[in-house]
């Protein structure tokens, strides 16, 4: 912006070092209050813990700590009521809170920043925010799991085609398919829990990067804020953002899982599949085609995975070449974290709603399971188990029988015994006892298999494993 001039008067943040204020364009690129105001609750929590510790250590007077506590409570109330005026000239949430605190209580507000820097302050705030976000996302993931488990219990015996390469592979049950997503979301919750453990150390008291000469008690502030411990190295405390990267990676993986679920709902609700139906609450119409029922919620879940992935790439790119310790580049950590958390929370809610809402067409699912020779593996297994054939030989013989049925335009069980014995003479009438798709799924009783009894047991176990 040509012709931009610094405003008159010393900058309120930098005190006596700078005689003039920043150029307007500098203020715009430097300020983060437009997005980091979301950290207000965490910032105030950290300040309260810091003030209490300073007083306990005799670094500031008890009366000043009391005034700070009372003033911060009022600032919090103003923000939550929408009456607080955020000022870009004060750059960030820290200085906005401190600036208003000074207006409310005067000189004691200036003692609050003793023995800390905005470097350890923002690192503390973001760790607290990520911790809170993980707790919220975990609740949402649990809700989605409950919806999936409920559908699994309702449809533990609903036969459907299982796919590989999106080609009919073997018959499974819809309940078994739903429980696959329960396991995926369970691992997502595990990744979030692991991330929370590593993020749950306190940077507060690391100050700018070297610690402080004041006799602070970092263990006290860590405990007050619910951290497991203070971070062991002051340089690492202010410069580490791997906790944010790990959080974004966990968000991205979870978003990918939800995208896969969204993709299947798009496919399953199509006229060509017709496996499930979504209500008006999770579909939209067309502006020109009155017959349309579009699975827009599922499509948007599928698309929004790109946002979570983009957030991870964005912050990884920011951090990849930064020397220790803090650099202003790290101001760019918050927007990707907020974006990924918001996106994942919305997608989890949408998926939980769609899963609870969907109405499977059991007849259509069963009919589809009869197509594509999904029971071919059962025939090969029968040749191995009943007639002692090597599996490769059984596989070859079954392939020839499938080719025959395909030429006849019928299912395997619709071939006559004579036709099948022309390919493999050892076959007997017992073969017809294994070719039905219902018998096929019932036979898959191995642990983790699709037999309805196994699915019901797995659903019950999942309710215990994923509270």
**C-alpha neighbours within 13 Å on the C-beta side of residue 373:** 19
Enter the tokens of residue 288.
């020109």
The strand pairing partners of 201, in sequence order, are 229
| Catalytic residue chosen out of the listed positions 47, 89, 286, 396 | 286
| Catalytic residue chosen out of the listed positions 81, 165, 287, 446 | 165
Q: Tell me how far apart the alpha carbons of residues 462 and 193 are, in angstroms, rounded to a whole number.
A: 18
The yes-or-no answer on residue 286 being catalytic is yes
Q: Which long-range contacts (CB under 8 A, 24 or more apart) does 183-188 make?
A: 184/257, 185/141, 185/144, 185/145, 185/148, 185/254, 185/257, 185/466, 186/145, 186/462, 186/465, 186/466, 188/141, 188/250, 188/253, 188/254, 188/257
The answer to whether the CB of 356 falls within 8 A of the CB of 276 is no
**C-alpha neighbours within 13 Å on the C-beta side of residue 297:** 22
Q: Tell me how far apart the alpha carbons of residues 111 and 62 are, in angstroms, rounded to a whole number.
A: 12
Reduced to 3 states (helix: H, G, I; strand: E, B; else coil), residue 10 is coil
Reduced to 3 states (helix: H, G, I; strand: E, B; else coil), residue 65 is helix
**C-alpha neighbours within 13 Å on the C-beta side of residue 272:** 4
The yes-or-no answer on residue 259 being catalytic is no
The answer to whether the CB of 340 falls within 8 A of the CB of 253 is no
Active site residues: 165, 286
């Amino acid at each position: 912006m040509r012709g931009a001039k610094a405003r008159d008067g010393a900058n309120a943040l930098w005190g006596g070092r700078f005689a003039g204020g920043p150029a307007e364009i500098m203020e715009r690129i430097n300020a983060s209050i437009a997005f980091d105001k979301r950290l207000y609750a965490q910032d105030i929590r950290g300040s309260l813990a810091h003030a209490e510790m300073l007083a306990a250590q005799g670094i500031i007077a008890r009366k000043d700590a009391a005034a700070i506590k009372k003033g911060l409570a009022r600032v919090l109330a103003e923000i939550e009521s929408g009456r607080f005026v955020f000022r870009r000239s004060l750059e960030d949430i820290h200085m906005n809170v401190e600036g208003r605190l000074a207006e409310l209580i005067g000189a004691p507000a200036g003692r609050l920043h003793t023995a800390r820097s905005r470097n350890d302050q923002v690192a503390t705030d973001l760790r607290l925010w990520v911790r809170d976000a993980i707790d919220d996302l975990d609740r949402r993931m649990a809700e989605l799991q409950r919806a999936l488990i409920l559908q699994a219990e309702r449809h533990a015996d609903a036969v459907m085609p299982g796919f590989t390469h999106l080609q009919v592979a073997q018959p499974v049950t819809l309940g078994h398919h739903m429980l696959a997503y329960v396991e995926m979301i369970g691992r997502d919750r595990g990744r979030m829990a692991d991330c929370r453990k590593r993020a749950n150390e306190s940077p507060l008291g690391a100050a700018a990067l070297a610690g402080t000469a004041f006799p602070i008690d970092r263990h006290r502030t860590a405990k007050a804020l619910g951290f497991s411990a203070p971070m062991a190295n002051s340089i690492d405390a202010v410069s580490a953002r791997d906790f944010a990267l790990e959080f974004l990676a966990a968000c991205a993986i979870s978003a990918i899982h939800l995208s896969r679920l969204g993709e299947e709902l798009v496919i399953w609700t199509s006229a060509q599949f017709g496996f499930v139906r979504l209500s008006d609450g999770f579909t939209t119409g067309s502006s020109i085609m009155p017959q349309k029922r579009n699975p827009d919620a599922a499509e948007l879940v599928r698309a929004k995975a790109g946002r979570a992935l983009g957030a991870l790439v964005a912050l990884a790119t920011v951090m990849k070449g930064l020397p220790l310790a803090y650099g202003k580049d790290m101001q760019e950590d918050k927007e990707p974290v907020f974006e990924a958390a918001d996106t994942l929370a919305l997608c989890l809610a949408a998926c939980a709603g769609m899963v609870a809402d969907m109405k499977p067409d059991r007849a259509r699912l069963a009919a589809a399971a009869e197509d594509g020779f999904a029971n071919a593996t059962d025939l090969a297994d029968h040749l191995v188990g009943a007639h002692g054939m090597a599996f490769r030989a059984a596989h070859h013989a079954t392939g020839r029988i499938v080719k025959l049925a395909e030429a006849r335009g019928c299912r395997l069980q619709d071939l006559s015994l004579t036709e099948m014995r022309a390919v493999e003479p050892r076959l007997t009438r017992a073969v017809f006892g294994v070719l039905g798709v219902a018998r096929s799924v019932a036979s898959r009783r191995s642990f983790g298999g699709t037999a309805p009894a196994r699915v019901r047991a797995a659903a019950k176990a999942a309710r215990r494993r994923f509270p």
